[in-house]
Structure 1
Amino acid sequence: MNKIKAFRINAFILGAALAGTAVIAPSTHANDFTASTYIDSSCGSAMYAGQVTLVQGSYTGLLYDAMSGNGTAPANWRDHYGVVEQVRWTETTVGPGDQVTMNAKTITSKQRAQIGYIMNRWGSAGSSPTDTSHAANYAIRQLVDAPRYACNGPTTTDAAAQMIAETTALTGQETGVADVYPVFSEYNPHDHSFTLTDVDVRDKGSAFSYASATTGGGLGIRMQVTGGSFTAQEPFLTQSNLAVVGNEMNSARTIYATRPGTITLALHTEIPSPLLHLLTAPHMATQIKPTKEPTLVDKTVTLQVPKDTLSVTKTIGATALTLDVTGYRPWLTGSNMLRAIATPPPGSGLPPVERMWPASTTGQVTLTGLSPNTPYMLSVADVDGYATSHSSQFTTGPVAPTNLHATAGATTISVSWQPAPGATNYEVTVGDITRTVTGTTTQITGLKPATTYPVTVQALNLPARGGSATAEARTTLPTPGKVTVARTTSTSTTISWPKVTGATRYRIVLDDHRGVWEPTAPTATLTGLTQGRSYTGILTALAAGETPSSARFTFTTAPSTVTGVKLARATPTSLSLSWRSGSAGTRYTLRVTGPKGKTVTVAQASATVTALKANKSYKVSIQATNTSGTSPWSPALTVRTTKKARPKITAKRGAKRTRITIKRAPKARALVQVRQGGQWRTVKKVRTKKTTRITTKVARSSQIRVVVRATATTKKISKVLR
C-alpha cells in the first residue's frame, strides 16, 4: 500500500543526510519552479519512504529520489515555511561530461541514459502514482543496486525487468535527437504504389533504436501523404497510424499514387528522451524529474512516381487492326481512357480511324474500317498524359483469296484458290494442321477418313494477315483394299475384298454394263456378264452421310450369237428391239453405241433402250448368257432415233391481255418475254404440258417473244408475236 504524507518544508533541515557526492557541473538549466505541497507517494514500509514524492505548486508531478546523499532526504521533510515561504527548485539536464552519483556510486553514462529513458518513458505518471511509476522507481534503484520495494510483488519486478531489458541497448552517447529511417519496397507499376515495409527511429548520437520498444504498444508513428492515398479507391485516405514494437511494424503500409509525379510522405513520432533531468534546491536531496513532454521527431520523404510505359502488340488484318495494349494501369485520378489513332498517308483521301476505350477494359481492342494494302501511322496514348505514348507504322494486309475449292480423299484434302492482290504467301489450315505456301494450291495429308474438316486460306503479307476464305470438306471412307476374284463363269464372277471400316454397304458397277450390285458384306457375285469379256469394275464403299470411296478391279469371263435382231419402234429418245429368243434362263445384253449409248441386260427377247439422243445413229449388238457360258456379240445392227418434234405456238392478242397456246412440247420450259429498252425481259416462266395455255397482261402494243427450251423429244423454238 502507498504511504501518503502531506506536509510543508521547514526552513531548518531536520534529519540526517545520506553520505555521498553531489551532482557535478550540470550541463543544461531549465526554468526554476516552486512547490508548496509535498506528498510522499512511496509504497512499502517506512524505511522506503521518500522514494517517490508528489509535488504541487507551479509544477505538479511525481519526483523520484536521486539517491544523491546530499541535503535533507524526502523521508525527513517537514512543514516549516509559511505559504509564501516556498522552496525553489532548479531543473538541470545532465550532459555527457557530467558526473552523477547515486547510492554512493558514480553511475556510468549507460546507466545515466537508462535511468533517463525509464523516467521519461514510464515515470511521468502525472498527478498520482501508478503501478507503472512504482515499477519505474524499482527499475532505476535496481540499476544502481539501491534499496527498493516491490509494491505489487512480481507484477512490479517483472515490469521493472522489462524496462531494464528495453534500455539495454543504450550506450550513454544518446542526444535525445532522433531521425526516422523508413524502408520502402520497389515501386510497383501494377497498382502505382510503394509499400512501407519497415521504419526505424534512431538517436543521432548513438544510433539507438527507439523502435526497439516492446512495452506500452511500442513506438507509434503518424503518417500524412500528399499526392497519394493509403487506399486504392475513393474515398482517399491520406492519414494513417502504425506501431513499431520490438523493431517490428504491426503491418506494412501501401501508398498508392494518385497520378505520376511526386508523393510526399510526412512521418511524425514522439520518443522518450534518454536525458536525465535532476532537481536541486538548497538543503534538499536531489530529485529526478521525469519529462512529461516527449521529444517530437518529424521526417518528410519524397517518392518519385514514373509514368506508365505503354507496350503495344499489333495484329494486322486487311481492314482491321487488333491491339493488345499493356503497361497501363488505372490511376486513382484522371479519366483512365486510352486512345488509338491510325492515320493514312497524306493525300490518300482516306480518313483516319480512331478508337477510345477505358483502361480497365480487359482483352484486345480492334480498329475497323481500314483500307487493305495501305500504310498507316499508329499512335496509342492515354487521354490524361499519365503514360508514355506509343508510335509505330504498319501496313494493312491483302484481301481474302477467292474461289476456294477443297477436294477430299480418304486421308487427304486438296485445296486451291485464286490469288489475292498484295499477298506474298498464304496460310492454309485444315483442322489443326497449318501450312504456309507461296502458290495457290496445296494438299494436306495425314487426315482421318470419314471426318469433317474446316478449311481456311488466309492471305499474308507478314506481319500483316489479310482476309480469309473458308470452306468445309469431309474426307471419304477408307479406300477399299485389293479385290480378289474367287470364281468366274462365262456369265458371272464372285469377288471379295477386305472389310472397309465405317462402311455399311458397297456398290459395284462394271464398265459398259448397267448392272449395279450393292452388298452389305465384303463379297459379291456379279452375274449377267458377257462371254469372253474383260470387265473393269468399280467397288465403292458407302455409309449414310459419308463421302464414298472407290477402288478399281478387273476380271475376264469365258464366250451363240444372237440372231434376228430388228428394230420394232423408234422415238427421238428410245429404240425398241427384238430378236429370236434363246433357251429358258437366257439373259441378253444389248450394247447400244452412239450418243448417250448404254448397255442393257434383259431376260426376254426384246428390249427398249431409253434416254437416247434424237435423230442419231446407234449400233446395237446383243449377247446371250446362260449357265454354260456367254455368247459372242451379234453383228451390229445400225438403227436411228427419230427427229425431235417442233413445238407449235399460237397466240390471240387483246388490248390488255395476250393468250398463248403451246402444243407438241410436253415437259418443256417456256419463257414469255417482253421487249423493253432494247432487251427482252422475261415476264413469265412455265413448265409445259401436252397442251399449254398462258395468259399474260401484256398490251397489244408491246412486242412479245415466246421461247420454248429444247427437251429430249422437242426442239427449241423462239417466236415473236406480232
Structure 2
Amino acid sequence: MDATSAVAQVKGVRVSVKTPRRVVITWNTTPGAVAYTVQVAAKTYTVTSAAKSLPGAVGTRVRVRAVAASGETGPWSTAVYVPPSRPKLTVARSATKKVTVSWGKVPGATRYEVHAGTMEVLTRALKVTVPADADTKIRVRAVGVHASKSAWCIRYRAPAPVTGVKVSASSSAYARVVWSTMPGVSQYEVDVAGTRSTTSKTNLAVLAFSGEAVKVRAKGPGGWGMWSAPVTKPLSDTEIAALREELADVREAIAQVQADISEYNANLAKLEYWLKVATEYNDTIRIAELEAEIEQVTADLNEAKADLADLQAREAEIVEAIG
C-alpha cells in the first residue's frame, strides 16, 4: 500500500471483449475498498463490484483504482488495453499432415499468433499452413496495440486419410481388413461396397467379402476424415518395386529438407544477433529491415518443417505398405 493511500493498488485487471464496442472488466478484490473507479479512455465510472461491463473500443486504455470508506482513493492499477475480438477459424480438409488454417480480418489486430503442437507463428497474414495430426490443438488469437491479445480460438483438423490399409482373405466368406494406427483418433469406419461398420480397433473382420473395394476413414476431435484409397487385394511384386523406388526418392527429399532447415536455423541465429546489435545502437531502419528478414526466414523455416512432416508421413506410409 502506498504510504499516502488508504487502500492498495488494484491488481489483476483483465479485459475481455463482449461485443465489438463493449467489454467486460474484472480485477482482484482489494482489501478496504468499498467502491472502485474504472477509467476507460477518458471516461470514468464508479462501481461497487470487481467486475463490470462497460463501453470500450479495441485499443482503449483501461485502469482501475480502489476507493476507501473515507473517500480516499488508491493508486491507479497498471494500464491494460482492450484486446481485439477472437478470430473465427476455418481448418481446411487435407489428405496430408499439413493443413491450412484461415480466419477473417479482426478489427484492431496488428498480427495473429498461431500455435499448432510445437509450432508457434506470429504473422500478419490471414492464413497459415501448419503440420497437424488429428489430436493436434490448433490455436489462433489476435494481437492488438500494446501487445493486447484476444482469447484463443481453438480447432482440430479432421484426420488425414487412413494409411496402410490391407485386405487378407481368411475364407471364401470372410476377410480381415487392417490399417495403421493414427494419433488422436477415437473411431474408424470401414466401407465394403457401401456397407459400413465402425470400430475403435485397428482391424476388423469383414463378412461376405468376395473382392469388393474396401476403404477406411478415421474420426477425431475435428470430426470424420477423408476416406483412404480403395483396396481390393494385396500389392503385386510390380507395385512393391514401384513403392521401393518412391521410398528412395522420398528419403532423398527428406535429407535435402533437413539440410534446408539447418541452413534456415543458422540464418535466423545470425539475423537475431544483428538485430540485437541494431537495437543497442537504436538503428531503426536496420531494425525494420532485420525484423522483415527474420519474419520471412521464419515463414520459410516453418514451411520446410511442414514439408518434412509430410515427407516423413509418406515415408511411413510406404514402409507400412510394403511391410
Higher Cα Rg: structure 1 or 2?
Answer: 1
TM-score range, shorter chain: 0.3 to 0.5
Ranked by relative contact order (alpha carbons within 8 Å, sequence separation 6 or more), the top structure is: 2
TM-score by length of 1: 0.24
